[in-house]
Chains A and B, each alone.
Chain A
Amino acid sequence: QVQLQESGPGLVKPSQTLSLTCTVSGGSISSGSYYWSWIRQPAGKGLEWIGRIYTSGSTNYNPSLKSRVTISVDTSKNQFSLKLSSVTAADTAVYYCARDVPNGDYFDYWGQGTLVTVSS
């Protein structure tokens, strides 16, 4: 059973960079032809896809966030990471990592989510 777990600071100051890591267990991040995605959800609102990475390192980003987002992968640690720069209060949300099934583009496994608050 694949499990994902987000980790990182719960509080980030405005204009700084939000950094989160997702640790995958129960299987190798490199096995199978999966993408690995980040999705966020502001309190009381819907889901927004941020972007994804393949274990080769190729990435796709949401155009609305592309200028501020970097997703990377460390296969040796079975982890992938999110960096979001120049954050504002609008970036306050629960951030989820998820496994992205290609040729269908749906998310079959999700982390429990981590709340990141942007505030001084």
Chain B
Amino acid sequence: QSVLTQPPSVSGAPGQRVTISCTGSSSNIGAGYDVHWYQQLPGTAPKLLIYGNSNRPSGVPDRFSGSKSGTSASLAITGLQAEDEADYYCQSYDSSLAVFGGGTKLTVL
């Protein structure tokens, strides 16, 4: 059971907007620790998508955005594309260790 809770799956049609939630607690996200997001395409290593709650590394399209409020965070993807089909993981910090969400599989219909 993961420390951070994500929905197992979300889906959307091309061009649509989807959001993925990440729920934590007062010992991690609620304690002020940043939330980061990773995209894992099938058979590949995770790739940093969002860091520091809402910052995009160079090369990540602005279709991807992140936010944080209280003990939760969200990843939004607009203008959904077939290439966005992947697993998405949130990550934060808790009691001196990095913790991840269980992952959300995004299906592009």
Indicate with 1 or 0, residue by residue over B21-65, a CB within 8 angstroms of chain A CB atoms: 000000000000110101000001111100110000100000000
B109 within 8 A of A: no
Q: How far is the CA of A100 from the CA of B91 in the complex (A)?
A: 12
Q: How far is the CA of A108 from the CA of B37 in the complex (A)?
A: 11
Pairwise interchain contact B51-A96, C-beta atoms closer than 8 A? no
Indicate with 1 or 0, residue by residue over A105-119, a CB within 8 angstroms of chain B CB atoms: 111101111000000
A49-B51 in contact given A96-B46, A106-B91, A112-B45 (Cβ < 8 Å): no
Taking the closest CB of chain B, its distance from the CB of A6, in whole angstroms, is 10
Q: How far is the CA of A104 from the CA of B107 in the complex (A)?
A: 30
Residues of chain B within 8 A (CB-CB) of A111 are 45
Indicate with 1 or 0, residue by residue over A43-55, a CB within 8 angstroms of chain B CB atoms: 0001111000000
Number of interface residues of A (CB under 8 A): 21
Pairwise interchain contact B2-A106, C-beta atoms closer than 8 A? no
Pairwise interchain contact B103-A108, C-beta atoms closer than 8 A? no
Q: How far is the CA of A110 from the CA of B2 in the complex (A)?
A: 21
Most B CB within 10 A of own CB, among A39, A47, A100: A47
Pairwise interchain contact A46-B57, C-beta atoms closer than 8 A? no
Q: How far is the CA of A8 from the CA of B55 in the complex (A)?
A: 35
* 11 pairs of residues in contact across A and B, judged by CB atoms under 8 Å: A46-B103, A47-B91, A47-B103, A101-B51, A104-B36, A105-B93, A106-B48, A107-B91, A110-B47, A111-B45, A112-B45
* Chain A residues at the B interface, C-beta cutoff of 8 Å: 37, 39, 46-49, 60, 62-63, 96, 100-101, 104-108, 110-113
